[in-house]
Structure 1
Amino acid sequence: MSDLTGQPPRSEPSDGEGEVTVLGTAHVSEASVREVEERIAEDRPDVVAVELDQGRYRQMKGEQPDDLDASDLLRGNTVFQFLAYWMLSYIQTQLGDRFDIEPGADMMAAIDSAEEHGIDVALVDRDIQETIQRFWARMTLTEKLRMVGGLAFGVTDSRVVGIMVGLIVGLIAGPALALFGGAVGITEAVYLRAATAALLGLAAALLVDQVAGLAVGGDSRLAAALGSGGAVATVAAMTGAADALVGSLLGGFAVTIIGSLALGVTGGLAFGIVAAGLIGLRGPVEPEAGGIDEMDIEELTDADVVTVMMEEFRQFSPGGAEALIDERDAYIAHQLIGLRNAGYDVLAVVGAGHRAGIEGYLDDPSSLPPMESLTGTETGSGIPWGKIVGIGLSVGFVAFFVLLAMAGVQNGFLLRLFGAWFLINAVFAAGFAKLAGARWSSAGVGGAVAWMTSINPALAPGWFAGYAELRHLTVNVGDISTLNALLSDETKPLGEIVSEMFEVPLFKLIMVVALTNIGSIVASVLFVSYVLPLFGTELGGVDGVSRLMLEGARNSAELIWRTIT
C-alpha cells in the first residue's frame, strides 16, 4: 500500500486486481487543472494518487510552513542542495507568473477534487530532500559548477557575475603576485604605487557614497561612488604624489600586502568586466526552436517544465537526470503497483514528463529496479579530492609546528606564529560574517573557531556562526517564495534587490555561513602568502625553514627509535 495522507482508506478495494490510469499534466497549465477536475468527477476512482511527498503535501495544505530544517542548511553540501532546490522553485515560479497560474495548481486541484468527492488521496512521490540529495551526489564537480553558474546568469545581471568572477580571480592573483611577483619584475615601488592608489580610491569612494546618499540612491549612488573612487585611484597611480606619505605610514610589509592585493583585484575586475561586456554584446540569448519560450502552454502536457529542464541537464549530467527523473518514475510506479495489487482503481496525476516512464513500468513490473536502490542518501562517486586536500592541509599544518619544535625552535617564536594564525583567521572570518549581516556575537563565534576549522576538513567556521545566528532568526520555507518574488521584480534597482534579499532570514543565514567560510579560506591563503614568509626571515628564509624541518624530522625519527628500542 502506498503512503496515504495519514488517514485509512475510506473505500474498499474491488475483488481481484485494480486498475491504474495515469493522467499527465503540466504543473503550470490552467487547462490541466480543468482536466484533472473533470476526470476525477467522471471516473470516480477509489484512490487519486498525486506526484507529491508528505512534506510538500503538508506545505500545500498549510500544515507545514517550515519543512526545510534550517540547521540542515549549515552542513556541507546541503547548502548546494538547497541551491538546486531553489533553482527548480525559481524556474517554476517564473513560468507560473508568465502564464498566470500558481505552480503545482494541478496537484492541488487533484487533492481538492478528491476530497470533495470523498476519494482517498495517495502521496506517491519520493521525499523531495532525498531526491535533491541524490541528484546533487550524482553530479560531477564540473556539472555542479555549470549548474550553479547557470543559476547565477539566470537571476543576476551579467555585470554582477563579471564583478564576482573578477573578485575571485583577484583574491587568488594577489597572493600569487606577492610570492612570485619579483620573478616577473614587480618591485616594491610598484607595490607602493598600487597600495597608494587603492587606499586613496577606496577612501574617495566611501566619502562620495555617504555624500551622494543624501541626494540620490540605488544605482546612481553606486555609480557615483565607484566613478569617483576610480578617478582618484587613477590620478594617484599616474602621479605618485602620495607614495612617500603612504609608505612611511604603512611600512614595507603592509605595502606589499595591500599593493599585491590591489594589483590582483584590479586585474581580476578588469577581466570580469571585459567578460561581462562580451556577454552583453551577444544580447539576449535566442530561444532554441521548440524550446519553452516557443511552446504554447498547453503543449506542456507533453513535457512538464521540470522535465524539459532536466532533459537539458541529461545532456551533460546523466546521473543527475537519472536521480531527478528516472528514479522517481520507478519509485512512483512501485507505489502505484502496490495500490493496484491491493485491488484499488487509481487515477494517478503526475507531471506529463513522467507519464511514459511510469506507464512502461506498469506494463512490465519485472523491469522495475528494487525499491531499496531508489531510497536513501548517496555519498557521491569518484575520488573525494576535497577531503583528501583538506586532510593533507591539516597534516601539513600540524607537521610544520611539530617539526620546528623538534628542531629546537624557541617556544616564543612558535607562540607568536600561532598567534598570527589565530588573529588573521579571526579577523577575516568575523569580518566576512559581519559583511553578511551577522550579529556581532555570531561573527565573534565564527572568528573564534576559524583557526581550528581552517585545519580541520570536518568542520567549518560558518557552521558555528550560523548556529549562533539561528538563535535570532526564524527561517521558513516561505522565504524561498519571497526570494523568487524579489528576483522577479524588474522595477527595482539591483542594489535595492540585493539589500532586500539580505533581509530574508533564509538567505541571510546561507550568506552568513558561506561568507564566514570564505573569510577563513582567504585568511589561510593570506597567512601562507604574506605572514609565513615574514616569520620565515627570522629563521633564514625558505632555505632556513627547510633545513629546520629536516632537522626536526631527523630528531623525531631518533626519538621514536630510542622509544621503541
Structure 2
Amino acid sequence: MSENADIYRINTADGREIILIGTAHISQSSKELVRETIEKETPDTVCVELDEGRFKSLKEPDRWKNTDLKQVIKKKQLATLIANLVLGSYQKRMGAQTGVKPGAELKEAAETAESKGAQLVLADRDIKITLKRTWACTPWYRKLSLLGGLFASIFDKTEISEEELDKIKEQDALSSMMQEFGKSFPEVKQVLIDERNQFLASKIKSAPGKKIVAVVGAGHMRGIANIIETDKEIPSEESISVIPKGSPVWKIIGWAIPIAIVASILFVGYEAGFKKAGELSLQWAMLTGGGAMLGTIIAGGHPLTILVALVMAPFTGLTPLVGVGFFTALTQVYMRPPRVQEMETLSDDIWQVKRWWKNRVTRVILCFLCPGIPAIIGKILAIFKIYQAF
C-alpha cells in the first residue's frame, strides 16, 4: 500500500511489514524523512542501499585519502577508482548546490538505527562488482558511448535545487527516465538498476525482524516493491555477483594480431633480408613508443615516466594482457607520489581541467589514460608499414 511518493508499505504473507523509503542522495528533505520515519516506526531492522566499502567511506570520510595508489595500480584497479571518483565527485558537486553531502540520508539512517537499537543491514552489492559487471556486460560497440557519457559528466554544469529534486523523485518521472536510459544502454540498465533491485530486494526480504525499514534510492523503490509484492523468484546473490568472462573470440583476436605482426616481420626478414626486418622492427618501436611518449608528455609525466612509455609501448603493443598506461602510471606515482593536500582537494580538482596537471593524483590518472591512444595510432601506422613491405 502507498502512503506517499516517498514511502511505500508492504505487508508480507508471513505477517511482516516492510517500509520502503525512496530518497535522493543529495536531498535535505530525504535526510529528514529518513530520521522521522525510523524514529516513528521503531523498526527491528533498518536496511540501507550501501555496501561495506561505501558504508566505511560515509563513516570515515577521510579514509579514502589514505588510498595507496601504488597498490591500486598493481592490482589493476585504477580504472575502477577513476569511475568511482568521477561518479562520487559528480554527486558531491550536485550536493554542494543543495547543501547536503552525498549519502547523507543513508548515514542518517544508520545513525538513527543505532540510536533506536535497530539492527543495520547493508543491502547493496559491492560497487566494484557492479562497475565490473557493467563494463563486462556492455558490448564493445557501446563502451565508447558509455565512456563518452562518463567523461561528458565532468563538463556538465547543470545546477539542481531541492524543488527540482522533488520533481525528479516523482514516480512517473522516474519511470520515464529509466525507460529512456534503458533504450540507450539496455545492458547498463540491467546491471545498474534491474540486478541491484533484485539484490536489494533479496537482502530486504531476508532481513530479520517483524518490521523493516529499507532506505533506497527513489529510482529503485518501485522495482523493489514489485519484486517483493509479487514474490518473484530472485536470482541468487552469487549469480549476479560474478564478473562475466570475456568472449574467447576476443582473446583469440587479441593474441592473433601480435602473433601475425611478429610472423610478418620474420617472413619479410626471410624474404627480403634481416636488414629489412630490422627496419620494420625499429619502425614498430619508434611509432608505438613515440606515440606513447607523446601522450605521456601531454600528461605532464616525469622524465623517467616518459622514458618508460618509449621503452614499454613496443612490448605492450604485442600483448592484450596489459597496456602501456599500467607502467606509466606506476612509474609516475613512484616518482611523484601525491601529497596529502592533493588527495583532499581531488574531488574538486577533477572538475577543473586547468588543475588536472597541478594535482599529482590527476596527473597519475593522465599518465594512465594519455599514452594509450597515441600508442594505438602508432601501432596502426606500423602495421601499415609492415603491410607495405609485402
| Interval containing the TM-score (normalised by the shorter chain) | 0.7 to 0.9
Kindly, what percent of the aligned residue pairs are identical?
27
Q: Is residue 36 of structure 2 the alignment partner of residue 33 of structure 1? A: no
Selected match of 1:49 from 29, 47, 50: 47
Which of the numbers 260, 264, 272 marks the counterpart of 1:400?
264
Matched, 1:349 2:215: yes
Deviation at 1:17, TM superposition (A): 6.6
**Could you say which residue in structure 2 is the equivalent of 1:373?**
239
How big is the shift at 1:461?
Answer: 1.6
Distance 2:286 2:206 in 1: 61
Amino acid at match of 2:30: S
Superposition deviation, residue 110 in structure 1 = 0.8
Shift in CA distance, 312/91, structure 1 to aligned 2, threshold 3 Å: farther
CA distance in 2, matches of 1:468, 1:22: 48
What's 2:8 paired with?
none
Residue 425 (str. 1) matches residue 288 (str. 2): yes
Q: 325, 348, 364: which is aligned to 1:462?
A: 325
SS at match of 1:373: coil
Structure 1 Cα separation of the partners of residues 343 and 179 of structure 2: 24
Q: Deviations over 1:496-540 (max 9, x none)?
A: x323122334422221122222232232234345x658xxxxxxx
2:290 matched to 1:435?
A: no
Higher mean C-alpha displacement, 372-381 vs 453-462: 372-381
| Residue correspondence of structure 1 range 504-543 to structure 2 within 5 A | 504-529=359-384
SS in 2 for 1:370: coil
Structure 1 residues 419 and 448: CA distance shift in structure 2, 3 A: same
- SS of the counterpart of 1:336? helix
Shift of 1:467: 1.9
User: Is the contact made by 2:265 and 2:280 (CA closer than 8 Å) also made in structure 1?
Assistant: no
Alpha-carbon distance, 1:468 to partner: 1.9
Q: Which residue of 2 aligns with 1:7?
A: none
CA gap 1:293/1:96 in 2 versus in 1, 3 angstroms:
closer
Tell whether 2:184 aligns with 1:316: yes
Give the Cα–Cα distance (whole angstroms) in 2 for the partners of residues 421 and 147 of structure 1: 31
For the structure 1 residues 413 and 382, does the alpha-carbon distance in structure 2 shift closer, same or farther, using more than 3 Å as the test?
closer
8 A contact 1:460–1:517 mirrored in 2: yes
Structure 2: distance between partners of 1:337 and 1:477: 43
1:483 to partner: Cα distance: 5.1
The answer to whether the 8 A contact 2:349-2:359 is kept is no
Most deviating of 293-302 and 122-131: 293-302
Preserved CA contact (<8 Å) 2:48 2:124: yes
For 2:182 and 2:136, the matched residues in 1 are separated by: 15
> Are the aligned partners of 1:429 and 1:517 in contact in 2 as well (CA < 8 Å)?
yes
Structure 1 residue 327 displacement after superposition: 0.8
Please point out which of 428, 445, 449 is paired with 2:308: 445
Shift of residue 73, structure 1, vs aligned partner: 5.5
Deviations 1:318-352 (A, max 9, x none): 22101101111111111122224xx4532111112
Counterparts of 1:62 and 1:397, CA distance in 2: 51
* Partner of residue 6, structure 2: none
Deviation at 1:42, TM superposition (A): 1.5
**1:458 counterpart SS class:** coil
- Write the distance in 1 (CA, Å) between the matches of 2:212 and 2:340: 31
Contact 2:48 2:214 in 1 (8 A): yes
Query: Any idea what the Cα deviations from partners look like across 1:468-488, whole Å, max 9, x if unmatched?
Result: 223245569997984553465
**Matches for 1:17-416 after TM superposition, within 5 Å:** 18-62=16-60, 64-65=63-64, 70=69, 71-72=71-72, 84-156=83-155, 296-302=164-170, 311-340=179-208, 343-379=209-245, 384=250, 387=251, 389-407=253-271, 409-416=272-279
- Letter in structure 1 aligned against 2:313: A
* TM, length-normalised to structure 2: 0.81
Q: 1:516 to 1:312 in 2, by over 3 A?
A: same
Cα distance between partner residues in 1 of 2:33 and 2:190: 29
Alpha-carbon distance, 1:48 to partner? 1.5
Q: For residues 67 and 305 of structure 1, what CA distance do their matches in structure 2 show? A: 40
Task: Give the RMSD, CA atoms, in angstroms.
Answer: 3.7
Cα deviations by residue, 1:80-133 (Å, 9 ceiling, x for unpaired) = 655554453344334323322222111111122222333332111101111111
2:226 alignment partner AA: G
C-alpha distance 335-304 of structure 1, shift in aligned 2 (>3 A): farther
- Determine the C-alpha separation between the residues in 2 that align with 1:345 and 1:435: 58
Q: Give the 3 Å change call, closer, same or farther, for CA 54–501 of structure 1 in structure 2.
A: same
Task: Identify the residue that residue 357 of structure 2 maps to in structure 1.
Answer: 502
Count of aligned pairs: 375
**SS class of match (2:371):** helix
Going from structure 1 to structure 2, the CA distance change for 1:487 and 1:514 (only over 3 Å counts) comes to: closer
Instruction: Kindly provide the amino acid, as one letter, of the partner of residue 47 in structure 2.
Output: A
2-structure distance, mates of 1:18, 1:349? 17
Instruction: Write 1 or 2 for the structure with the bigger share of helix.
Output: 1
Cα distance in 2 between the residues matched to 1:447 and 1:438: 12
Structure 2 residues not aligned, in runs of 5+:
1-13
Q: 1:375: how far off?
A: 1.0
Does the CA-based 8 Å contact 2:91-2:102 persist in structure 1? yes
